[in-house]
Amino acid sequence: MNHLSTDQYQQLLDRARPLARDGRGVKVFELADGMIVKIFRRRNFITSDFLRPYAVRFQQNAESLLVLGVKTVDVENIFTCPAKKQHLVLYRSVAGRTLREVLADPAGRDDILARFSIFFAQLHGKGIFFRSIHFGNVIVSEGDNPFALIDVADMTIHKAALSLSKRVRNFKHMIRYEEDRKRIEANGVESFVRNYMDASLLSSNEKERFWQRLTKEVPFFRPPNPT
């Protein structure tokens, strides 16, 4: 990890365009050459970030995803700026639009959601537990393999397929935003889950147990009561 002085930090971000911010300030910049800088600010109390900075996790997860055949950002470098108490990731962006943006257009919405449910199952089959999964962190491009993941710091990659409990937890993560829930609901909640299960390589017994657990623990996926 390269160290940046305050001057080097300012030079790197000089004339950069802010892309995203949170309560602590701008967290993503676009540089003049199109490269992206994501900032991770250290907290004032001891966390796991002291032992394994999020910038390092971001880089390692991106590299692991590519090995597994999952498209993601191309990390060029990571930095630390002790004076700012920040770590930075420099990477190339992924071409395309977010899944949320794509689903705003009714044309082809059914198809893209069905394809995403299959992609989601494939992630779980590869042992990828992406806690930051939502429709704003999935990029859609053209081609047979259209999906890519961004903002990949908060992720665990297991050696085997995810357990049923982890799959259910990740479904909870995926629907954290109302806008995303509405898109799934409009196209059929049960259809989304069925497409996922058909692509999951789970046994018939595992599918049944998964469905029961999902509908019990995540009310959004419960079938409506008959009237």
pLDDT in tens, 67-105: 999 999 999 999 999 999 999 999 998 999 999 999 998
Instruction: For domain 97-221, give its CATH number from 3.20.20.30, 1.10.3720.10, 2.40.110.10, 1.10.510.10.
Output: 1.10.510.10
**Helical packing angle, 109-125 and 164-174, nearest 10°:** 140
pLDDT at 45 over 70: no
Would the CA dihedral through 214, 219, 220, 221 be positive or negative?
A: positive
Q: What is the full DSSP assignment across 94-126? A: PSSEEHHHHHTS-TTHHHHHHHHHHHHHHHHHT
pLDDT at 50 over 70: no
- The average confidence (pLDDT) of the chain is 93
Percent above pLDDT 90 for the chain: 83
pLDDT at 150 over 70: yes
User: What pLDDT shows up at residue 25?
Assistant: 87
Spatial distance between the Cα atoms of 54 and 77, rounded to a whole number of angstroms: 13
Q: What's the rounded mean pLDDT across residues 111-132?
A: 98
Better pLDDT: 24 or 95: 95
Percent above pLDDT 70 for the chain: 95
Q: What is the CATH code for 2-92?
A: 3.30.200
Please state, in angstroms and as integers, the Cα–Cα distance from residue 121 to each residue in 12, 106, 127, 161, 196, following that order.
39, 24, 10, 10, 5
pLDDT at 227 over 60: no
* Residue 6, number of CB atoms within 10 A of its CB: 11
User: What pLDDT shows up at residue 141?
Assistant: 93
Residues of the chain with CATH 3.30.200: 2-92
Instruction: Note the pLDDT tens digit of each residue in 5-23.
Output: 999 999 999 999 999 988 8
